A = this chain, B = another copy of it.
Amino acid sequence: MTSLTFILGGARSGKSRHAEELIERLPAPWSYIATAEAYDAEMAERIGLHRARRGEGWQTLDAPHDLARTVAGLPPGRPVLVDCLTLWLTNRLLAEADLSAECAALVAALGAHDGPVVVVSNETGLGIVPDNALARRFRDAQGRLNQMVAARADTVIFMVAGLPMKVK
């Protein structure tokens, strides 16, 4: 059985915790694909907090860049949490990747996994237009990727202050 659930929300809106709860309702083991790169102390601390919250039953894979291939290499039937698209997209933008092609490949891989997939991403487009061009490029790419995943997903949830709102 395959299904794709997309959890979208702002910073500190409870996205990761809700995604973990959804996966933990399924039989273990569960795969956790982490996209963070610990390039500074602040990020290393956040990664550590996330890992500490996850208990037994989780197998962690790091895929800050090669996300589509990591998803494609999962064993059949395995529930997987991808956390999160925003860090992956940041890594690929800074690596000057072809974002359009890579996002298409990623969405195809997410849809092709033989097992339940939960994907976490940030909504970043609801503030004032950013001053710098790189931030605007990121915001546009993030919005487009979120639309692609949402169109493919069976269930889309928008998090508000830790509470899930069902959009689809």
By a beta-carbon cutoff of 8 Å, the part of chain A in contact with chain B is: 6, 8-14, 42, 123-130, 133, 135-136, 138-140, 142-144, 146-147, 149-151, 156, 158, 160-163, 165, 167-168
Please report the C-alpha to C-alpha distance between residue A112 and residue B142 in the assembled complex, in whole angstroms. 38
CA distance A142 to B12 in the complex (A): 8
Contact among B42, B136, B143 with A13 in the assembled complex (CB-CB below 8 Å): B143
* Chain A contact surface mostly: mixed
Q: Which residues of B contact A135 (CB under 8 A)?
A: 128
Residue among A128, A129, A162, A165 with the most chain B CB within 10 A? Answer: A128
Given A124-B128, A126-B126, A11-B139 contact (CB < 8 Å): yes
Q: Which 5 A-B pairs have the closest CB atoms?
A: A127-B127, A12-B143, A10-B125, A11-B125, A147-B162
Smallest CB–CB gap between A16 and chain B, Å?
A: 12
A150 touches B163 (CB 8 A): yes
Q: Among B123, B133, B138, B139, which residue has its beta carbon within 8 angstroms of that of A160?
A: B123
